[in-house]
Amino acid sequence: MDSCIFCKIAAKQDPAEILMESDSVVVFKDIYPSAPVHYLVVSKKHIPSIKEVSHEDEALIGHLIHTAKDSAEKLGLSGYKLVFNVGKEGGQIVDHIHLHILGGWAKNKPGSINV
Ligand code: AMP
Ligand code: ZN
């Protein structure tokens, strides 16, 4: 989608600090972090949110989660949160599906669940 910021980042038309990438997803640093370590796993296919996911996207969603695991390992996170915000009332601002990776809190001080 031409006007979508995450489509533009996935197409390298807008800058981002990319951590890793595959044929179908890209992982980059969140520009306004809500945790000491905050990355986004973003599908290269434009799907607005979890609400629009279809059966044919099941492998893609699995890959999104698996890539989050690989990214967390690469970042050296021993524990972390994975969050999908879904729809405006769910706190979603960017209407392009993405999985938040949140971590980096002190070991005895787990982070809040709010993103
Ligand atoms: P959500 O509220 O789930 O839609 O989260 C969107 C996230 O995207 C927020 O945490 C923003 O800080 C982040 N974000 C928005 N624009 C950019 C950008 N250009 N590069 C990196 N992260 C972004
Ligand atoms: Zn998009």
- CB count in 10 Å sphere of residue 86: 14
Domains of the chain (ranges; CATH) run 5-103 (3.30.428.10)
pLDDT of residue 1: 81
pLDDT per residue as tens, the chain (115 positions): 889 999 999 999 999 999 999 999 999 999 999 999 999 999 999 999 999 999 999 999 999 999 999 999 999 999 999 999 999 999 999 999 999 999 999 877 777 655 5
- CA–centroid distance, 106 to ligand 1, in Å, is 24
pLDDT of residue 14: 98
Question: Which residues, judged by CB distance below 6 Å to any ligand atom, belong to the binding site of ligand 1?
Answer: 5, 16, 30-32, 40, 85, 91-94
pLDDT of residue 115: 56
What is d(CA 112, CA 115) in angstroms, rounded to the nearest whole number? 8
What pLDDT, in 10s, does the model give residues 43-69? 999 999 999 999 999 999 999 999 999
Alpha helices in the chain (DSSP H): 5-10, 58-74
Q: Quick one: what percent of the chain has pLDDT higher than 90? A: 90
Tell me whether residue 98 is one of the annotated catalytic residues: yes
Instruction: Please name which ligand lies nearest the alpha carbon of 96.
Output: 2
Do 40 and 72 meet the contact criterion of CB atoms below 8 Å apart?
A: no
